[in-house]
A and B are shown apart, each in its own frame.
Chain A
Amino acid sequence: MSIISLIIKREFFAKVRNKSFIVMTFLSPLLFVGIAVFVSYLSSMKADVKQVAIHDETGLFAKEFIAQNTEENQYKYLDLSQIDSQYLKDSIASNGYEGVLVIPKTAAVTDLENKIEFISDGSPSISFIENAQDIIARKITKINLENAHLDTLAIKKAQASVNINIAKTSGEEGLKGLNEAKIAIGGAFGYLIMMFIIIYGNMVMRSVIEEKTNRIVEIIISSVKPFQLMIGKIIGTSLAGILQFTIWVIIGLSLLFAASVFFGVNIGPAANVSPALIEHSQTEFAGTAQLFIKELWNLPIASILIGFVVYFIGGYFLYSSFYAAIGAAVDNQTDSQQFLLPVIMPLMLSVYVGFFSVVNNPNSTMAVAFSMIPLTSPIVMLMRIPFGVPWWQLAISVTLLFGTFLLVVWFAAKIYRIGILMYGKKPSWKELYRWLKY
């Protein structure tokens, strides 16, 4: 058995048999699903119906508000125009009203624009106020149109609504919603890579520090080259990571499934949609869903998956080499902070660039540039791939990534080689630079 596979095996089993690893492997999905269930349970709970008193001295608007009263509406409007407004204001608390909407009598309806008051002891939500403004404004507009002797029906007919359909040059029909799916897929993969790098890169670093503080490292590198040890460590840790991730996904999915059956909770975006609405849109939805699935199949699935594997390997190895070198340079984990910041920064940056720039325009200069830079390309390029990327850009990006990877491994191995035998002091950046020249 070759030496590197021996090291990989040891690293893998050392990680996998670790108690905290086992606990985290089985506890994390439980926590995650627990939180998901809790959140969707909360959001599916019916909120208390709030009563809002309408005191309409004009007699024009109360009807419009009453028309809003439905089962689903969180607010119940009561027409109390006959009751004195001052009395209403004073009895908000005793009657349990959310508030009183006072629409005073004015000479002309247009004068009302700034005179309407909502009196409440609480702080009304923005959507409630906007809704009320909308109802009143629409009514006033209608009255204005009638006063001008314009045919409101004709105007309504004349109003056009436009819906642009998206299609490819190949003539296939597309869906607008698909962009969101592309963003979701790219984003999920990009995020996955970032999480993986941070969690398991740290693990590589800890394992290097452990060997250093144990002092076993001197025995090991009297048998193997530091480079072999470093690569073995990175691969062994990543295999343990992949195993953990796989278990998470399997447990998470089955728990999620079990929970949704058991609690009867719709987990996911559908949780807020009322059953009536789904039924109503069922026929339309079925057509859309078919189109959606067809479109999903038309996505460059092969490119996405291959891209994910390539960028995952490249990105993880690149960053793990940094983590390994940092672990070798320091004596304990607290000392590693100053060196970790420059490693975390490009990761954060790529996620932000991904979510702000790629989502807006996958082919913007910024998105293209960051999908070329090796430290950010694993995440940014993955987010771009679902939107289609010219092959030459992919070629340059992958070449740069693996070129940099080799360079960084070479540098990291140098720092590693010197660092693992240095004890007792926290090195400065200047010192690390000197080590490169030894």
Chain B
Amino acid sequence: MSDAWQSYVRRIEELAARSGLAFHPVDFEAVPDSFMMEIAVYGLPVRMPHWSFGVRYIYQLIQRHMGHSRLFEVVFPGNPGHAYLAESNGLAENILVTAHVLGHADFARNNLLFRRCQAQVSEHIVEHAANHARQIQQAIETHGAQRVEAALDAALALEQHIDIDQQLRRPRYPEYLEDPRTHFDDDFRKRFAALEPASAASFVEVKKRAPVPPHPERDLLWFVANYAPEMESWERDIFLAVREESFYFYPVFASQIMNEGWASYWHARLLREADFIPQQAYLDAIKCHSDVVRPVAAEQQVALSINPYHLGFAMWEKIVESKGLAAARAIMEQDDDFGFVRNHLTRELADELGLFRFSARSDGQVKVLEPDLTALHEAILAPKYNFGAPIVSAAHVRNDGTLELTHDSATDARGLDLERSRKVLDYLQRVWRRPIVLTTVNQAGSALELTAP
């Protein structure tokens, strides 16, 4: 950590605080590029071991060797937040990154989705994840690498299948159905019961066991951890550990455009307002900024993807310009990407940025579609629906322990990829240890059942 940069950190923090950013303190640490890459691959500085991370690691290595990507920073929200900066950053890049990190810290502390998830996961996800990694290491020592890997195969395959509207530490379903006699909230029933107490009493004599699950359950990690008939307790712990990390990942995933845009808006603005930065460093930093928020289409005429930094940055500039900073802060606090894009990506801005909607055939032919703002919003947001995963819920557990899963193909508008789904069922079957049935639809739209084993 260079002294020059260190002295700027304090001054940028002061400037940010004066500009209205409210953030928890952030610990900055400069780390080697190799470690930066690992953080990006694992999503957390220390995380459970699994071979699938090794696959991502190699893809990252290849990407980096081809010069496709360069990582400047990774920041973890919390109190204090942790920011890892690449050692290879120059002074100008570090100044920019510092301002960027403070934008993220402000976002993570004030955005409601982040706050809600942090209230569940606590503000120490980095430490929690390291703790999970240690527990899993212990499990490997006790139960053997193969069994732990089988549990992780299943748990990580379901990592997107959580229900963010539920508690992280969620109680089990009530054991029995609610007694209808307690439903005396409407006047008719009260009067009826008062008229003839005997017949009201004979309404339901025995307590009825509630079915499991009482309603289709999307929180698969939780459901399996709690209701698998023959799971070991350490396997349940692994499922719950993965689930906790998913609770941490969800807001990062679901507000990426807003969050990156907000951080980019603030690094640009703080840099502009920081009169203490030498001219050369400022120029270098601005150059770096324009690299980061550059639209993907800068070099090519047309790109079939959108850089979230660019889109978010442009949207925040527009919002602050037209509505003022106070309104922008209110939006930042209340929205996630869904609300943000649907409410604030206007026709004019979309035209200005040259955003368009296209349809691509599987043979690679791409056709640009007629402009339609609502449809454009959905095209941008579609990959983010339901944590980026199909909606699969646990529908029923049969008497013999067979798990019935259903895919909500009506909402997802098409069926599941059968080959992959079968493999996921295989993973899951090894911890559920009873048959699993999954219903989805085939190409023609008629119902289809997959089973394991």
Q: Do A and B bind each other?
A: no
Give residues in A with beta carbon < 8 Å to B: none
Interface residues of B (CB under 8 A from A): none
